[in-house]
Structure 1
Amino acid sequence: MSLPLHGIRILDLSRLLPGAYASQMLADFGADVIKVEEPGSGDYARAMPPHGPGGMSLYFLATNRNKRSVTLNLKVPQGREIFLRMVRQADVVLESFRPGVMQRLELDYEHLKEINPSLVYCAISGYGQDGPYQQRAGHDLNYAGYAGLLHYNRGQHGEPAMPATQLGDLAGGSFMAVIGILTALVGRAQAGEGRMIDAAMTEGVLSLLPLLSTFYLNTGKAPQPGRSSLDGGLPCYNIYETQDGKHVTLAALEPKFWHTFCTRIGHLELLPFHTPVGPGEREQAIDLLRTIFKTKTRDEWLAELAEIDACVGPVYSMDEALNDPHAQTRGVTITAPIADETFRTLPSFPRISGVETEQRYAPPTLGEQSDEILRAVGYTDTEIEQFKKEGFV
């Protein structure tokens, strides 16, 4: 069985995490992803410490398997002409420049669709292709702040807390780009026309808050952090510390799960506090649960509750998460060779029947496949050597 995206060619001009993770997902599912990089430097992620096998950055290794690399200087006419020839054979162009950069190079969607009307063009940016903030510099944390997410992500003293992962880059950028690209490709299969995708990472983060935003939009009141049903407002849906200083998650939202939990721990007096409404009831129930959970270690609670329908689980560290027996059985990591060594990383999810994540190409060195890529669009070896001498590739 061929991979689902076999035959789809993607020219990826993006740098760093959002575009790289998006194109790796598409590459893992069969797309031919060509990283178009600047000669001499390439993707900034290549140089970021720490470094791993083959001297490559672990950040780069995490998001660049199954891609090929070509170097092109898009700042000169000759480099742009080579890129335009590649676009004629491409299905998707992915970029993450600040809005306006591709227009100045005359490589934006309006120009490219003239030579390839079926092209899908995806631009990832912080704030979108228009609007008063379009030219602002930013990173993941800025987007999470603008979107309101940090206001609801609070630390132990009530202060806005740093997310443990790059929600703006990954959820706001990578996933939105993949959704947009795949949607546009399906539409193209029906109508034959390409599309322009404007993936603004701030809006992507905002999309993670559908319940809080809908509550505000329809009541005019913004929920207080830590007080809504799914962010700490309910005793039955919360995080509790255990005797050994570790933590468990309790998510007994449905009454049947709450009843099972209260019955098993022998505290039926908690039953009325599933959704407390009276003054002080929430605090009273949470304080009692904190006391109860501190009577045993995390693993003792898991042993007692994990096999019943009480919706109790652990708060794992990364090593525990990856070495959990269920994760091991499911195979949530892959091992692949690079430069006479091996490295481990996560596969692309979700799982699709007939698709096993495998490394067809190791994360490429800068310009590793330049010659073969340029030959494939009709350039001779003599022309390629001349391009190198003149610094176009």
Structure 2
Amino acid sequence: MLSTLDTATNPLKGVRVLTLALNLPGPAAVMRLKAMGAKCTKLEPLAAAGKHTADPMGIYKPAAYQEMHQGLKVLQAELKSERGQAALHKQLAQTDVLITSFRPSALVKLGLTWRALHKRYPALCMVSIVGALGERAEEAGHDLTYQAEAGLVNGLDVPASLYADMSGALFATEAVLQALLLRQRPGRSQGKGVFHEVALSQASAFVALPRTWGLTTSTGEVGGAHAGYKVYPCKNGRVAVAALEPHFAQRLCEAAGLAQQAALQMHKRTTHQGIAQFLATQTRAQLDKLASSKDIPLHTLPR
């Protein structure tokens, strides 16, 4: 598992997290919380006969499910039954933060509204992951629809990653940290649980801000208008060039054999053409060596 967290410090050691969230945003958030030292438990619906889990991710991508749930205590219960409710509340009685990903109407049916939980467990914090805020929280949606709404879907191509889900996971992680900090803040509400609602549409809109600002459109500085920030073909593959700052642009232009003033004209067609012609003659190995020797930010890729 890739992580930049310093798990040795365990900032969330002693914090108990219970998650009912399925699929991707919730489990990905819990993966981050566990890496910070939280003791995490997941309560899933009962698995169908012959199945290991009822979580959709565990069914259509077991490897992803296994990575997100590594070292996680996973229990199963039917929350609509008395026995399932008893199992749930046994866990809630010893939980600091509850994470859910149900629609508000489903929380009502399960007796898991914030008002009901806060009354029964005053110190419990809750993070509810929804598709959108307010009345739209009942709308059906998925990562792709939230990305489309945020302007991140181009043509008929599916986006390269699940940006709404993964940014939603980070929003949920942030919400947990906020709730815990607010719970311990001195004042009238010290020791009282805090509720946060996280919307995937909101997370997707945040990720889309560079595009909203015009940075990543075709005329934007990092959308292809700047000759030093593009993906070009090379002799045996492709190269992602990120020579945006003037000193990087200068080194790139020098390597390409362009006139000195080219680094000051990175938006001109001739500069684009000159860099493209140079890169087309270079192999990936040559470009990797160039990046190292001349300190130029680039990364080579296969075709």
Task: Answer yes or no: is the 8 Å Cα contact 1:48–1:59 preserved in 2.
Answer: no
Task: Establish whether residue 252 from structure 1 lines up as the match of residue 243 from structure 2.
Answer: yes
Q: 1:223, 1:234 → 2: CA distance? A: 11
Match of 1:113 among 114, 118, 123: 118
What is the aligned partner in structure 1 of residue 152 from structure 2?
Answer: 149
Query: Secondary structure of 1:65's partner?
Result: coil
Task: Answer yes or no: is the 8 Å Cα contact 2:28–2:68 preserved in 1.
Answer: yes
User: Is the alpha carbon distance of 1:299 and 1:251 closer, same or farther for their aligned partners in structure 2, counting shifts above 3 Å?
Assistant: same
TM-superposed CA distance for 1:2, in Å, is 6.4
Alignment of 1:1-393 (within 5 A): 3-41=10-48, 42-49=54-61, 57-128=62-133, 130-131=134-135, 133-151=136-154, 159=155, 161-171=157-167, 173-190=168-185, 191-213=190-212, 215=213, 225-244=217-236, 246-268=237-259, 270-274=262-266, 276=267, 281=268, 283-315=269-301
Q: Deviations for 1:138-181, whole angstroms, at most 9, x for unmatched residues?
A: 22111111111224xxxxxxx3532222111111x211111111
Unaligned runs of at least 5 residues, structure 1: 50-56, 152-158, 216-221, 318-393
Q: Deviations for 1:247-302, whole angstroms, at most 9, x for unmatched residues?
A: 1122122112211222233212522313x3xxxx2x33222221111011122112
What is the aligned partner in structure 2 of residue 324 from structure 1?
Answer: none
Q: Deviations for 1:15-56, whole angstroms, at most 9, x for unmatched residues?
A: 11111111122122221111101123432223225xxxxxxx
Q: 1:313, 1:94 → 2: CA distance? A: 38
Q: 1:81, 1:107 → 2: CA distance? A: 13
TM-superposed CA distance for 1:212, in Å, is 3.7
Q: 2:205, 2:63 → 1: CA distance? A: 29
Unaligned runs of at least 5 residues, structure 2: 1-7, 49-53
Letter in 2 for 1:256: H
CA RMSD after TM alignment: 2.2
Q: 1:28, 1:231 → 2: CA distance? A: 34
Q: 2:143, 2:156 → 1: CA distance? A: 15
Task: Answer yes or no: is the 8 Å Cα contact 1:96–1:123 preserved in 2.
Answer: yes
TM-score (structure 1 length as normaliser): 0.68
Letter in 2 for 1:76: S
Task: Answer yes or no: is the 8 Å Cα contact 1:127–1:203 preserved in 2.
Answer: yes
Query: Secondary structure of 2:251's partner?
Result: helix
TM-score (structure 2 length as normaliser): 0.86
Which range moved further: 82-91 or 308-317? Answer: 308-317
Letter in 2 for 1:7: G
Aligned residues between the structures: 286
TM-superposed CA distance for 1:99, in Å, is 2.6
Q: 2:165, 2:114 → 1: CA distance? A: 22
Query: Secondary structure of 1:176's partner?
Result: helix
Q: 1:294, 1:2 → 2: CA distance? A: 47
Q: 1:236, 1:48 → 2: CA distance? A: 40
Query: Secondary structure of 1:238's partner?
Result: strand
Q: Deviations for 1:360-385, whole angstroms, at most 9, x for unmatched residues?
A: xxxxxxxxxxxxxxxxxxxxxxxxxx
Query: Secondary structure of 2:207's partner?
Result: coil
Q: 2:86, 2:66 → 1: CA distance? A: 30
Task: Answer yes or no: is the 8 Å Cα contact 2:24–2:165 preserved in 1.
Answer: yes
Identity of aligned residues (%): 24
User: Is the alpha carbon distance of 1:28 and 1:223 closer, same or farther for their aligned partners in structure 2, counting shifts above 3 Å?
Assistant: closer
Letter in 1 for 2:26: G
User: Is the alpha carbon distance of 1:46 and 1:305 closer, same or farther for their aligned partners in structure 2, counting shifts above 3 Å?
Assistant: closer
Task: Answer yes or no: is the 8 Å Cα contact 2:229–2:242 preserved in 1.
Answer: yes
TM-superposed CA distance for 1:242, in Å, is 0.2
User: Is the alpha carbon distance of 1:125 and 1:316 closer, same or farther for their aligned partners in structure 2, counting shifts above 3 Å?
Assistant: farther
Query: Secondary structure of 1:307's partner?
Result: helix
